[in-house]
Structure 1
Amino acid sequence: MEKITLRPFDPDDTEWLVTRHAELYALDEGFDGTFGPLVAGIIADFVAGHDPAREAGWIAEQDGARIGSVSCTKGKDPASARLRLFLILPEARGQGLGHRLLDRCMSFARIAGYTRIELWTHESHRAACALYAKFGWRLVDSHPVRSFGVDLIEQSWEIDL
């Protein structure tokens, strides 16, 4: 088994990212067909107009195959970044990849001059939420919603850099 590498996101990764997000969230969470188009829109916006000095995405690869992703985009104000598209394929979990991806995103945000990062997730993503807490992120909001055809507990997390 080869070492896991992180490389910059390329627009050619779009189909893989959309498909894997849609498939995994449907399988793991029961999400309906509205989730894939949401991911596609996030990526299309990034490809169409991201500022490389302030926004970046990474793809994790092992043995020539994509196994994970994360991105750092502009947040709701000039001081805030947003962590997005954090994904690790089931077969790649348990190798410390989540830690590496989260660290890469946070390090980039610091270098880009952000003073805070925010993210949006669901309570059911227990491993990711535990990782956020381990890194010092704070849960700032949690409430029930109906999204993507299922009942969820939506969460907002943030960390000061």
Structure 2
Amino acid sequence: MPHLSGDAVAGIRRFNRFYTNILSLTNRFLLESPFSLAEARVLFEIGHQERCTARDLSTLLHLDPGYLSRMLSRFCRIGLVVRAPSPLDGRSTVLQLTSDGKNALEQLEAASDRQLGTLLGHLSPREMHRLLLSMGAIEHLLDAGSAPEPDIRTFLPGDLSCIASRHARLYEEEYGFDATFEYYVMAGMASFLKDWSGCGDPRRKGKGNVWVVEQDGLFGGSIAVVETEEKTAQLRWFLLEPEYRGKGFGNRLMEKAVNFCASEGYERVFLWTVSDLLAARHLYEKWGFTLMETKEHYIWGKTLTEERWDSVL
């Protein structure tokens, strides 16, 4: 079992207290109704599933079968739920809401809608978007099976600013680079955007491309192809967030970039890296790049060995 720091435990408990208080989940009854949270969830699932069985409910809601059986017996007794033979298997029964049960569920959902309106009505569209992203992140981090597969797409407005920011932060945290590295990255991006958009020379418009790894709106990594001469391109801004490393995303980004270079008719592709980036060097070798030049000098606040790697397509 992984060890959680005291700060992590305290933060999680603080959020739990906040969340249960804000939704009044510490009360015995939910939304001023005669139902507990578990009872309301059972009514919701019966009302929204086409063929719902007691076994389905027990598995989905992680309810003790004995506790669930007593709850369903009560619902049947007060006229909210009926049991009917399953159309697929006459030996089993499905659960259905009666008209009173449907009315009770409608009142619960209306009360829930009013509560959400009260809680969230003051949020701006940007704040609502941020909240939904945060809620999705919590859901997917705690339930890995629900997380969508990260997407690799071409860059959109605003992406290069994010890439520059993550380069500056990660290289400072992991390698101790200073602020001059951020300037170096941003200067290269400004030049790329000027040419790519045709601001400098319309004949060069659209040269090169950038790809971004994204999951639920969150940045996961990047790579770029920048044309330096008519038949020569440079790979730049190759980066993976720590949680995306060792999962094949570096290989997929390299594939995007190298295939693009081949399709655009480039004859040579090169890149600059530093000797400390061992995993990246291994990946470059795998994709047919050869170390061509090294130079040691003081740059970005450190003495580093820069390396040029080339590939002939």
Alignment of 1:85-124 (within 5 A): 85-124=237-276
Q: 2:189 aligns with which of 35, 43, 49?
A: 43
Partners of 2:282 and 2:297 in 1: how far apart? 21
- SS in structure 2 at match of 1:72: strand
- SS in structure 1 at match of 2:213: strand
User: What is the match of residue 63 of structure 1?
Assistant: 216
Shift of residue 103, structure 1, vs aligned partner: 0.7
Q: TM-score, normalised by structure 1?
A: 0.94
Across the aligned residues of Structure 1 and Structure 2, the Cα RMSD in angstroms comes to 1.3
Partners of 1:93 and 1:42 in 2: how far apart? 25
Q: Which has the larger radius of gyration?
A: 2
**Contact conserved, 1:54 with 1:112, CA < 8 A, in 2?**
no
Partners of 1:11 and 1:129 in 2: how far apart? 30
**Which one-letter code corresponds to 2:225 in the other structure?**
C
Shift of residue 54, structure 1, vs aligned partner: 3.3
**Contact conserved, 1:144 with 1:151, CA < 8 A, in 2?**
yes
Task: Kindly provide the CA deviation profile for residues 24-54 of structure 1, in whole angstroms up to 9, marking residues without a partner as x.
Answer: 1111111111111111111111222214653
Task: Kindly provide the CA deviation profile for residues 69-94 of structure 1, in whole angstroms up to 9, marking residues without a partner as x.
Answer: 0110112x321110001010111111
1:155 aligns with 2:307: yes
Number of aligned residue pairs: give it.
160
Partners of 1:11 and 1:64 in 2: how far apart? 14
Higher helix proportion (structure 1 or 2)? 2
1:9 aligns with 2:161: no
**Contact conserved, 2:270 with 2:310, CA < 8 A, in 1?**
yes
**Which one-letter code corresponds to 2:296 in the other structure?**
P
Partners of 1:32 and 1:119 in 2: how far apart? 21
Runs of 4+ in 1 over 3 A off after TM superposition: 51-54
**Contact conserved, 2:195 with 2:205, CA < 8 A, in 1?**
no
CA 1:52–1:67 in 2, change beyond 3 Å: closer, same or farther?
farther
- SS in structure 2 at match of 1:54: coil
Higher strand proportion (structure 1 or 2)? 1
Identity over aligned pairs, percent: 35
- Larger RCO of the pair (alpha carbons < 8 Å, separation 6+): 1
**Contact conserved, 1:35 with 1:148, CA < 8 A, in 2?**
yes
Partners of 2:276 and 2:307 in 1: how far apart? 10
Which residues of structure 2 form unaligned runs of 5+? 1-146, 197-203
User: What is the match of residue 125 of structure 1?
Assistant: 277
**Contact conserved, 2:296 with 2:304, CA < 8 A, in 1?**
yes
Which residues of structure 1 form unaligned runs of 5+? none
